[in-house]
């Protein structure tokens, strides 16, 4: 089977395993010669020296499996994008990381007036805010946060909700945990105590009235039912009926 159905939750996991196998077995020698190799599922980021034969590297990767074909995007000058992150080279040679948005991006998120739970309206604000703080360079965070604020206003979000959920020190709800204790199977809870109380009170009367019924075949009769009753500790058997 080559590939899985689009949208299948198992697809990214299988793709990650597949690419890991190719990297570890078929391309390990070439990857070790690179200055940097990074991969997220099927997107690969490589830094190579000028001595690296790019065409030979691309052909080797594309020939690793007959049903896959890789493409090469080179940015030797100023910037290079990887997924939704734009990597730019500063004059001093360091790398600046900022967000990359496609030209078709419309800036539309869940509108605040839409009929969805409030928690689902808070989540876009928090996710959009956490991304630049986690991954971007310090000098590009403030500019990105201002863009996010303007985008949220355009989608109908109130200033108070924006400020609260974009705060760097968000107050997280307190989660209470119970201490770990070892319980044996003989531990009695309140419900078990109540059940045992009624059980002890009813056991003796039920034993005195206990009856054992047996169904069987009697000679010259179709079916007979017998009953054994404990009467003054003497067992007596009598016929209850026949069919």
Tokens 């080179």 label which residue? Answer: 74
* Inter-CA distances, 44 with 9, 59, 82, 177, Å: 21, 15, 8, 42
The predicted structure's pLDDT at residue 210: 61
CB atoms closer than 10 angstroms to residue 139: 11
The predicted structure's pLDDT at residue 236: 46
* Inter-CA distances, 158 with 73, 110, 113, 163, 172, Å: 41, 13, 10, 9, 20
**DSSP bridge pairs for 240:** none
Residues in the chain predicted with pLDDT less than 70, given as ranges, are 1-3, 75-77, 168-196, 198, 206, 208-243
The predicted structure's pLDDT at residue 220: 56
The predicted structure's pLDDT at residue 188: 46
**DSSP bridge pairs for 235:** 230
pTM of the model as a whole: 0.50
Tokens 């169904």 label which residue? Answer: 215
* Inter-CA distances, 105 with 48, 101, 186, Å: 31, 6, 62
Our measurement of the distance from residue 147's CA atom to the centroid of its chain's CA atoms, rounded to an integer in Å, reads 30
| 151, 107 Cβ separation under 8 angstroms | yes
What residues contact residue 101 under an 8 Å CB cut-off, 6+ apart? Answer: 84
Tell me the C-alpha distance between 43 and 52, whole Å: 20
What residues contact residue 243 under an 8 Å CB cut-off, 6+ apart? Answer: 222, 223, 224
Instruction: Name which of 112, 108, 110, 109 is nearest 156 in CA terms.
Output: 112
**DSSP bridge pairs for 85:** 82, 99
The predicted structure's pLDDT at residue 170: 56
Measured at the alpha carbon of residue 136, what is the angle toward residues 99 and 36, in degrees to the nearest 5?
95
The predicted structure's pLDDT at residue 176: 57
**DSSP bridge pairs for 86:** 81, 98
The predicted structure's pLDDT at residue 232: 45
Structure tokens at 88: 């730019």
CB atoms closer than 10 angstroms to residue 121: 22
Tell me the C-alpha distance between 144 and 131, whole Å: 10
Strands annotated E in the chain: 36-40, 43-47, 79-82, 85-89, 95-99, 211-216, 224-231, 234-242
Structure tokens at 216: 């069987």
The predicted structure's pLDDT at residue 193: 62
């Amino acid at each position: 089977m080559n590939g899985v159905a689009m949208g299948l939750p198992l697809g990214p996991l299988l793709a990650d395993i597949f690419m890991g196998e190719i990297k570890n077995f078929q391309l390990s020698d070439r990857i070790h010669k690179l200055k940097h190799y990074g991969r997220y599922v099927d997107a690969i980021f490589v830094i190579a020296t000028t001595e690296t034969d790019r065409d030979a590297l691309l052909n080797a990767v594309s020939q690793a499996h007959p049903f896959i074909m890789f493409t090469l995007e080179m940015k030797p000058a100023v910037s290079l994008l990887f997924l939704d992150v734009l990597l730019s080279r500063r004059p001093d040679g360091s790398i600046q990381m900022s967000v990359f948005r496609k030209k078709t991006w419309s800036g539309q998120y869940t509108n605040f007036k839409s009929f969805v739970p409030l928690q689902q309206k808070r989540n876009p604000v928090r996710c959009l805010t956490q991304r630049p703080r986690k991954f971007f360079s310090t000098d590009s965070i403030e500019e990105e946060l201002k863009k996010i604020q303007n985008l949220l206003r355009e989608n109908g979000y109130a200033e108070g909700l924006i400020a609260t959920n974009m705060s760097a020190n968000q107050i997280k709800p307190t989660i209470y945990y119970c201490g770990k204790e070892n319980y044996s199977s003989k531990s009695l809870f309140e419900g078990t105590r109540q059940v045992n109380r009624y059980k002890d009170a009813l056991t003796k009367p039920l034993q005195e009235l206990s009856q054992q019924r047996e169904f069987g075949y009697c000679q010259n009769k179709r079916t007979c039912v017998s009953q054994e009753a404990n009467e003054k500790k003497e067992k007596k058997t009598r016929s209850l009926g026949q069919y």
